Amino acid sequence: MLDLRVLQVYPSRITLTNKRKPLEFHKTKFNKQCKSFYTTQQTQAVENFKQDKNPFIISKASKKKIFDSINSMYALSPKRTITMRNKKELYNFKLSFVTLTLPAKQVHSDIEIKKLCLNQFLVELRKYYNVNNYLWKAELQQNKNIHFHLILDQYVDFQALRRRWNRILEKLGYISAYRDKFKNMNLTQYHEMRNQKASCSFEKSKAAFAAGKQSNWSNPNSVDVRSVLNKRNLAGYLGKYISKNVSSDEVDENTKFRQLSFGRSWFRSYSLSSLKYVNKYLACEMQELIKYLRSKKDVVLEITHDFFTAFYFSAEKLDKSFQDFLNRFLINNAKLYNYPIPIP
């Protein structure tokens, strides 16, 4: 008996689902009528029970979009060798993980910082560094300041990013506030302050203090950049920063109100939101692929339920022939949606 299930290919999984039967015309018309009645007659009743959603609590559907978008960026980003400013070479570069912070106490609303600072930063990334594919997520630090995590598929020198971010922050006075805090400190006071946050050697404090004095405290370390070189790096960043949730029980009422008024706590570029994986194949035509995945139980996780089967994998752990198949599929699929693949 032929296996008439439908197979779909994603960057980190392959799914098998039952083929849907098209609805008969009279059933389709009836469903539309039901939907119309519900939306016109029952909307008000539903709104009465609807609660505001906390944008910092990521739903399963949003988590799936985040994972798929970042895995797509990783899979479609060719490995590159980057020559850095210090002339050293960075091998096998694929993605950058960037964290943007405030160097002084936050005195503006989250929405103002998102609109006036983050948006301007993204505009400049697109304009000056050809960053077309990206995803960002906002979080609240322990000191109650907002900060942002970004994943990019282009290499940008961290000093260049820091200068741009600091220049943008100064529109709201955060660099001046940083300068006012440190300009009258001596080395002993500076070292004591650093030690309160985390254990730090006096030599490191001395070097940081000298660098701060040299720049007149105008170039704070408000940007952290790390390179994503392999799947282990990526999984670590996804688990620790991008996909973690904030439980409503962990925050006070003021923070809850702040979160509810924030709006989007994450966003992806249009190139990623428009990238789809809708090409479907009959399972009977892909039996060799299914058989291969089932033979790799040590590196492929198979999950089966009543209506679907999913194979989760890291392509780097599978044979080169499979990697080549997946790479060809993903590139051809990306071209259908005009996804801008980085130039090697």
Total structural domains within the chain: 1
Q: Is the model's pLDDT at 46 over the cut of 50? A: no
87 in a structural domain: yes
Range of 125's domain? 60-174+219-273
CA distances from 265 to 225, 235, 260 (A): 20, 20, 10
Length of the chain equals 344
DSSP-assigned states of every residue in 29-69: HHHHHHHHHHHHHSHHHHHHH-----TTS--HHHHHHHHHH
Q: What angle do CA 304, 285, 278 make, to 5 degrees?
A: 70
Indicate the SS3 state at residue 140. strand
99 in a structural domain: yes
| Mean pLDDT, range 172-197, rounded to an integer | 91
322 in a structural domain: no
- 130 band by pLDDT with thresholds 50, 70 and 90: very high
6 in a structural domain: no
- 251 band by pLDDT with thresholds 50, 70 and 90: low
Range with the poorest average pLDDT among 17-21, 213-217, 273-277, 302-306:
17-21
- Beta bridge partners, 89, equal 83
pLDDT value for 250: 57
> What is the percent of the chain with per-residue pLDDT over 70, rounded to a whole number?
87
- Prediction pTM value: 0.85
- 329 band by pLDDT with thresholds 50, 70 and 90: very high
- 33 band by pLDDT with thresholds 50, 70 and 90: low
Question: Could you tell me the CATH number of the domain that includes residue 166?
Answer: 3.30.70.1110
User: Which one has a higher pLDDT value, 306 or 43?
Assistant: 306
81 in a structural domain: yes
192 in a structural domain: no
Q: Is the model's pLDDT at 334 over the cut of 80? A: yes
Q: What is the dihedral of CA 46, 51, 55, 61, to 10 degrees?
A: -40
Phi, psi of 313 (to 5 degrees): -155, 165
74 in a structural domain: yes
52 in a structural domain: no
